[in-house]
Chain A
């Protein structure tokens, strides 16, 4: 099945550093979502973006919906050990028919060294 191009695949950083990851698609989306998944758990919604160019923050997390509607990025500032996990982007078209499904990236594995 289709998956979005998410990069980097993994990151190993020191506590306190900032993190940036992005997601690109060959097709447009009307909604971009960012999730975090920890071992043995389901994905947890972090940020939802609904409009091209939109910039939204949730605490130390900031995400933007790309102008072309084909990309999005997520930044984490001043990382802490509990930021460890796999971060997934997901896009949704919302145009009716069968396009309400979420299409996910393969994830970015984040490791934070205390």
Chain B
């Protein structure tokens, strides 16, 4: 079975631009969460979506938004990119709402220049 897949794997953007990151969860998993991992730190929670609804949001500005589609795939959007948005963005899927045993994708490395 395929694991969590994310695209693209690497991305370079300029300050002020907008970016969209994509995630396909493990088949049968209905919950998708997004995390930001800055170099040298553990992942930080951004969003959780379950059954196409936002169920939680971390301490991130409104420039960050996300959505989940009927097939449970998800997109993370970041507007007005700042240099500090440079990070590894991880998507995690889990079978149910409570997000236990979350399985992570390989991440999208975003560099803002």
Binding site for B on A (CB under 8 A): 1, 3-4, 6, 31, 33, 35, 40-45, 48, 50, 88, 90, 92, 94, 98, 100-107
User: Cβ of B42 and Cβ of A45 under 8 Å apart?
Assistant: no
- Minimal beta-carbon separation of A6 from chain B (angstroms): 8
- Minimal beta-carbon separation of A110 from chain B (angstroms): 15
Q: Which residues of B contact A88 (CB under 8 A)?
A: 42-43
User: Cβ of B90 and Cβ of A101 under 8 Å apart?
Assistant: no
Binding site for A on B (CB under 8 A): 4, 33, 35, 40-45, 48, 55-59, 90, 92, 97-107
| 11 extra A-B contacts, CB within 8 A, seeds A43-B90, A106-B42, A107-B41 | A1-B45, A3-B42, A42-B107, A43-B104, A44-B104, A48-B101, A102-B35, A102-B45, A102-B99, A104-B42, A105-B42
User: Cβ of B43 and Cβ of A43 under 8 Å apart?
Assistant: yes
Docked CA distance A50–B43 (Å) = 21
* Partner among B58, B100, B106 whose Cβ is within 8 Å of the Cβ of A42: B106
Q: Which residues of A contact B106 (CB under 8 A)?
A: 40-42
The 5 closest A-B pairs by CB, nearest first: A104-B42, A42-B104, A101-B45, A98-B56, A1-B44
Docked CA distance A1–B42 (Å) = 10
